[in-house]
Amino acid sequence: MKIGIIGPGALGCLLAARLFLAASEQNKIVLIDHNPDRAAMLNNQGIVFEADGVKQKLAIPLSSNPSEIGPIDVLFSCVKSHDLEKSLTFATPLLSSATLLIFLQNGIGHLQYNKRANGQGIPVFATSSEGATLLAPGHTKHAGKGQTYLGFLSQQQQTAEKSLQQLAAILQQANITCSVSSDILSRLWAKLFVNVGINALTAIHNLPNGQLLKSSAIKETMKQLVREAEQVAIASGITIREDPVAATLAVCEHTAKNISSMLQDVRRHRPTEIDAINGAISVHGHKNNIATPLNDKTIAQIKTIEKTYHEYTT
């Protein structure tokens, strides 16, 4: 299989590194970056990957020119949810009607791409709890083993089902615990609950995930954020598989040292995924007449932080 990963962030580099280390003659890996200067720099420098106390430099091929690569079998989209639209336009030459296009964004806003594929890729939705921290451009550190689920939101032909199973096996061989889920929508919401409870609070308080549990006030806010999200999910007809509050507390503990993706964004003065995470709860809450005051307040707090980026940089 020819496998591309677009977006050399923390998770993109982790996937690329794991797949590259396990790649065989049959499976070729390429990283894709829309930014030609960064792509050239990373091509020279190599991707630095730290895991289990070992640091290595990997010569993973990196391109900023999708036309020179052409259609591939699998494209992992690891860009932020707010960059997805322009990234898909950029990636068009990589997509054929048979390409598995794997969406790995946080939140649920990107589910709209299930209907918009237009023969350019077969949309697959994925959720991963692999912990990864980007220490510098192209330098990623594995911060905790997780579980990855892949699944279709709509009925597919048998060939697509087979390709997805084949991809799950490749990921599994590459040390990424992975399975195909027949109920990916519930899995995406389950991940959303966790992100709703953890991400914004880590960014507001500038704390690694595990530290949130050390303050009873923050822990209580986390529980309430997730309970609001749960009410919205129930009103939206989503199947809930496990207690979202217990699951969020457990992820906080398992990823105690992790710097959440939102806190990483805030520290780099990048736009956050607040709209795709707590924002999605607020929007779906409004649609279903469920009030979400704590999520609304949290969104406002993060937007205030985002505004300060400008003040710092001018």
Choice from 43, 209, 221, 298 touching ligand KPL (CB under 6 A): 209
Shortest CB 302 distance to ligand KPL, Å: 13
Using CB under 6 A as the binding criterion, the count of chain residues that bind ligand KPL stands at 13
Tokens 């300060």 sit at which residue? 308
- Binding residues for ligand KPL restricted to 224-253, rule: CB under 6 A: 251
Establish if 198 lies at the interface with ligand KPL (CB under 6 A): yes
Establish if 255 lies at the interface with ligand KPL (CB under 6 A): yes
Cross-strand partners of 142: 132
Shortest CB 11 distance to ligand KPL, Å: 9
Residue 122 φ then ψ, to 5°: -100, 115
Cross-strand partners of 48: 57, 139
Of 130 and 228, nearer to ligand KPL (C-beta) is 130
Shortest CB 32 distance to ligand KPL, Å: 21
Establish if 148 lies at the interface with ligand KPL (CB under 6 A): no
> In this structure, which amino acid lies at residue 294?
L
Establish if 261 lies at the interface with ligand KPL (CB under 6 A): yes
Of 43 and 195, nearer to ligand KPL (C-beta) is 195
Of 2 and 227, nearer to ligand KPL (C-beta) is 227
Choice from 64, 81, 258, 278 touching ligand KPL (CB under 6 A): 258
How far is 3 from 304, CA to CA, in rounded Å?
A: 39
Find the Cα–Cα–Cα–Cα dihedral 207, 82, 124, 153, rounded to 10°: 100
Establish if 294 lies at the interface with ligand KPL (CB under 6 A): no
Q: How far is C-alpha 83 from the geometric centre of its chain's CA atoms? A: 12
Q: Which two tokens stand for residue 8?
A: 């050399």
Of 99 and 258, nearer to ligand KPL (C-beta) is 258
- On the 0-12 / 13-18 / 19+ scale of CB atoms within 10 A, 77 is buried
Q: Which of left, alpha, beta for 206 (phi over 0: left; psi -120 to 50: alpha)?
A: left
By CB under 6 A, which span of 67-75, 191-199, 282-290, 296-304 interacts with ligand KPL? 191-199
Beginning with the edge strand found earlier in the chain, give each strand of the sheet holding 54-58 in spatial order.
54-58, 47-51, 139-144, 131-136
Shortest CB 113 distance to ligand KPL, Å: 20
Of 90 and 149, nearer to ligand KPL (C-beta) is 149
Beta strands in the chain (DSSP E): 2-6, 28-32, 47-51, 54-58, 62-63, 74-77, 100-103, 122-128, 131-136, 139-144, 148-151, 178-180
Establish if 87 lies at the interface with ligand KPL (CB under 6 A): no
Establish if 177 lies at the interface with ligand KPL (CB under 6 A): no
- Binding residues for ligand KPL restricted to 9-68, rule: CB under 6 A: none
Residues of this chain that interact with ligand KPL (CB under 6 A) are 106, 129, 131, 194-195, 198-199, 209, 251, 255, 258, 260-261
